Amino acid sequence: MRMRQSGSPARITALAGGIGGARFLRGLIAAAPDAEITVIGNTGDDIWIHGLRVCPDLDTVMYTLGGGISEERGWGRQDETFTVKDELAAYGMEPSWFGLGDRDIATHLVRTQLLAAGYPLSAVTEALCLRWAPGVRLLPMSDERAETHVVVDEEGGTQRAIHFQEWWVRHQARIPARAFVLVGVDDAKPAPGVIEAIEGADAVVLPPSNPVVSIGTILQVPGIREALGRTPAPVVGVSPIIGGRPVRGMADACLTALGVETSAAAVAAHYGARDAGGVLDGWLVDDADAGDVDTVARLGIACEARPLLMSTPDDTRAIAAAALDLAARLRS
Amino acid sequence: MRMRQSGSPARITALAGGIGGARFLRGLIAAAPDAEITVIGNTGDDIWIHGLRVCPDLDTVMYTLGGGISEERGWGRQDETFTVKDELAAYGMEPSWFGLGDRDIATHLVRTQLLAAGYPLSAVTEALCLRWAPGVRLLPMSDERAETHVVVDEEGGTQRAIHFQEWWVRHQARIPARAFVLVGVDDAKPAPGVIEAIEGADAVVLPPSNPVVSIGTILQVPGIREALGRTPAPVVGVSPIIGGRPVRGMADACLTALGVETSAAAVAAHYGARDAGGVLDGWLVDDADAGDVDTVARLGIACEARPLLMSTPDDTRAIAAAALDLAARLRS
């Protein structure tokens, strides 16, 4: 990758969802320890629960990079307890299906209190990160509330929209999604620093996050897709689909709702080549999808196959290094 | 005590603070199991902590009568943990001196959420009591926010007012209190049902709660003292002072601020005889204060000495029964 100035670190900007994005970011930090990394986090999953403002994806990034994540679950705090949740259920309070841990609740109390005091989410996130020191600058995609809702069928032939978390957590994405609606997005603006981080980057990376309800949500914030279109930095993505299946999560259920096939090539086509109005210059697929390389290349997206399973920290670092290497070659 | 109608239960109304009041109420229920008991709870101790609305005295009554209290501490929940509190401290959030337990926090989350939805505190308290079934009707003294602040000396000869909880919990009442100010009381009204409960009672009881910052606070809500003055029910109090010392708590520090001696007789005089514009018809003192009986009687308050230490459930029941018995004799 071309450095900006002799001696100045590379500037990398990543768009990220939750678990998959956070794990990739750990590898990115390891691959570029001297880089200034800005993460634009998805806040379309955010939800008010029991009067608390919960930002699952921001917290997953913050906890993962800050050493507080539950490695087993992939979300929430390690050594977590669920006393408050059980007590809320004893009061009959709904929703009872959201995993609100005691340690986690402290984060939400701080956030909710600071938001109530008038601080924007970006400032609140910065304040929370003072404790976690994630090693990246973590920005919410927007300071405005814009939450994903899922259109599902009701009995009788009608449809209704439920909050993304109800669909994802309560129903485990088992109800067919007919559409995703980012409620509030028309009034949302990119959070301070987001556009600058995209325009001023040496490389923009799309981790193997959910292309619909994580990265796709970020791209819906007015101005972000346009900034990706005009940034001088190459934009390189890592496929979240390996061998026709999501590596983790339920991206297939999301892609199906959009009529997109669950394949590495179809996701690349869904993102689209920058030259053709999309967002990608480069795309990494797994060796299992080496057959997709030519298909993607024909879209105008530089595509390479390599192992993409983030099984170990070394594997993950190598994937991130490959993405940065592809970006460097695209830039030079 | 005179019954209202043949077959209808006695109606007893009690004004109560926290631990001492709650324990006395347990005895009152045991002494009058068929009575309809209304408790008017002190909300002058209430505080916003970390964005949560905390009502320590209401909760102490609710938990004590509902079987959820920590018997060891006297406040908060049994089998309590403090994970959220420790995490908030890790974020550097103040105040860190308030004992906010995990189980307890669920109560505050429910309350805060219902208040935010527009329900008055009285309705919220009723909703919380659906779970705890305390066996009494628990009413806050007021739905309006009115919080006790304590005037203390600063270096340099000036004074400042701190929240009651900061004085009581953080400073353990060790800083001399110069005055107590119930901020907001001018705009406070008795909660729905409070005046009716006083006017319609067969007996009104003042448990051995703090006469200054618990009962005294309730009496400051405009209309409550007047209702006590005109109710046909006798008003009988139980001394919180035994042998010149508070049975528990730090009532002496509060009385001193008002220039009131810490003695059973002085507290009776502070409350005053109803005939002389005060609130008491009867007053129970401990055997240790038998020498005060004549002094109190000369104020126009029927006074009797008996054991007042609430050491066992039976002792407590007997004290409550003695208060009801005195009330019955005053009424007939």
HEC string for chain B: CCCCCCCCCCEEEEEECCHHHHHHHHHHHHHCCCCEEEEEECCCCCEEECCEEECHHHHHHHHHHHCCECCCCCCCECCCCCHHHHHHHHCCCCCCCCCCCHHHHHHHHHHHHHHHCCCCHHHHHHHHHHHHCCCCEEEECECCCCEEEEEEECCCCCEEEEEHHHHHHHCCCCCCEEEEEEECHHHCCECCCHHHHHHCCCEEEECCCCCCCCHHHHHHCCCHHHHHHHCCCCEEEECCEECCEECCCCHHHHHHHCCCCCCHHHHHHHHCEHHHCCCECEEEECHHHHHHHHHHHHCCCEEEECCCCCCCHHHHHHHHHHHHHHHHHHHC
- Statement to judge: residues B61 and B112 lie in one domain: yes
Name the residue among B81, B88, B106 with its Cβ closest to that of A106: B88
Are A56 and A121 members of one domain? yes
- Residue A57 is predicted with a pLDDT of 97
Are A98 and A154 part of one and the same domain?
Answer: no
pLDDT for position B332: 78
CA distance A137 to chain B (A): 18
Q: How many residues does chain A have?
A: 332
Does residue A278 lie in a domain region? Answer: no
Question: Using a CB-CB distance cutoff of 8 angstroms, which residues of chain B are in contact with residue A116?
Answer: 51
Per-residue tokens: A54: 């919960």
B177 and B93 in a single domain? The answer is no
Helix H or strand E segment including A252: helix A251-257
A79 class by beta-carbon count within 10 Å (0-12 exposed, 13-18 middle, 19+ buried): exposed
Identify the CATH number of the domain in which residue B50 sits.
1.10.8.240
- Cα separation, B243 vs B225, whole angstroms: 28
CA distance B5 to B37: 16
Per-residue pLDDT tens over the stretch A222-246: 999 999 999 999 999 999 999 999 9
The whole-number pLDDT of residue A163 equals 96
Chain A partners within 8 Å of B82 (Cβ): none
Is B13 part of a structural domain of the chain? no
Residue type for position A224? I
Final residue before a domain boundary, out of B140, B155, B172: B140
Examine the pLDDT at A29 and tell me if it is beyond 80.
yes
Contact A110 B131 (CB under 8 A): no
B86 close to B45: Cβ distance less than 8 angstroms: no
In a domain, B8, yes or no: no
Please list, in sequence order, all residues whose beta carbon lies within 8 angstroms of the beta carbon of residue B261, skipping any fewer than 6 positions away. B255
Q: What is the spatial distance between Cα A202 and Cα B52, in angstroms, rounded to a whole number?
A: 44
Residues B49 and B121 in one domain: yes
Test the B interface: residue of A48, A85, A91 with most B CBs within 10 Å? A91
8 Å CB contact of B83 and A102? yes
Instruction: Give A156-166 pLDDT, tens digit per residue.
Output: 999 999 999 99
CB A195, CB A145: distance < 8 Å = no
| A102 with B107: Cβ contact below 8 A | no
> In sequence order, which residues have a C-beta less than 8 Å from that of residue A87 and are 6 or more positions away?
B102, B103, B105, B106, B107
Domain's final residue, options A113, A140, A167? A140
At which of B116, B140, B164 does a domain end? B140
Q: Is residue A274 part of a domain?
A: no
* Residues of chain A contacting B131 with CB distance shorter than 8 Å: 90-92
Tell me, yes or no, whether A53 and A135 share the same domain.
yes
Region A87-110: what's the mean pLDDT? 96
Looking at residue B8, what is its pLDDT? Answer: 57
Q: Determine the pLDDT at residue A144.
A: 98
Same domain, B70 and B156: no
Position B248 scores a pLDDT of 80
* Residue A19 is assigned to a structural domain of this protein: no
Answer yes or no: do B87 and A102 touch at CB < 8 A. yes
Residues of B with CB under 8 A from a CB of A: 50-52, 81, 83-84, 87-88, 90-93, 102-103, 105-107, 109-110, 112-113, 116, 128, 131
Question: What is the token pair recorded at B209?
Answer: 């709660």
pLDDT digits (tens, 9 = 90+) for A201-226: 999 999 999 999 999 999 999 999 99
Q: Within this chain, do residues A97 and A136 fall inside the same structural domain, yes or no?
A: yes
The residue segments making up the domain with residue A107 are 45-140
pLDDT for residue A296 is more than 50? yes
Per-residue pLDDT of chain B (332 residues; tens, 9 = 90+): 444 544 456 999 999 999 999 999 999 999 999 999 999 999 999 999 999 999 999 999 999 999 999 999 999 999 999 999 999 999 999 999 998 999 999 999 999 999 999 999 999 999 999 999 999 999 999 999 999 999 999 999 999 999 999 999 999 999 999 999 999 999 999 999 999 999 999 999 999 999 999 999 999 999 999 999 999 999 999 999 999 999 888 899 999 999 999 999 999 999 999 999 999 999 999 999 999 999 999 999 999 999 999 999 999 999 999 999 999 999 87
pLDDT value of residue A9:
64
Q: Is the ipTM of this complex over 0.85?
A: yes
pLDDT at A1: 47
pTM score above 0.90: yes
Task: Pick the closest to residue B56 from B71, B45, B67 (CA basis).
Answer: B45
**Closest to A43 in 3D by CA, of A130, A124, A100, A134:** A124
Residues A158 and A136 in one domain: no
Q: How many residues appear in chain B?
A: 332
Q: Find chain A residues with C-beta within 8 A of B129's C-beta.
A: none
For the CA atoms of B63, B67, B72, B76, the dihedral, rounded to the nearest 10 degrees, stands at -20
| Domain presence at residue A252 | no
Any domain includes A57: yes
Tell me if residue A152 falls in helix, strand or coil. Answer: strand
A87·B81 Cβ contact <8 A: no
pLDDT digits (tens, 9 = 90+) for A45-95: 999 999 999 999 999 999 999 999 999 999 999 999 999 999 999 999 999
Output phi, psi for A80, to 5 deg: -85, 150
Which of A53, A105, A107, A128 should one mutate to test binding to chain B, selecting the residue with the greatest count of B CBs within 10 A? Answer: A105
Mutate to test the interface with A, among B47, B52, B84 (most CBs of A within 10 A): B84
Alpha carbon separation from A283 to A91, A234, A235, A304, B39 (Å, rounded): 49, 11, 9, 7, 69
The three-state (H, E, C) secondary structure of A121-148, written as one string: HHHHHHHHHHHHCCCCEEEECECCCCEE
Q: B65 and B136 share a domain?
A: yes
Residues B156 and B74 in one domain: no
> Do the domain assignments include residue B34?
no
Q: Which residues in B167-201 are b (16+ Cβ under 10 Å) and which e? A: bbbbbebeeebeebebeebeebbbbebbbebbebb
Nearest CA in chain B to A132: B91
B50 neighbourhood in chain A, CB within 8 Å: 109-110, 113
- pLDDT (0 to 100) of residue A8: 57
A interface with B, Cβ–Cβ below 8 Å: 50-52, 81, 83-84, 87-88, 90-93, 102-103, 105-107, 109-110, 112-113, 116, 128, 131
Same domain, A58 and A114: yes
Whole-angstrom Cα distance, residue B211 to residue B218?
10
Residue A318 belongs to what H/E stretch? Answer: helix A313-331
Number of structural domains, chain B?
2
Cα of B319 to nearest chain A Cα, Å:
33
pLDDT value of residue A182: 96
B289, B266 in Cβ contact below 8 A? no
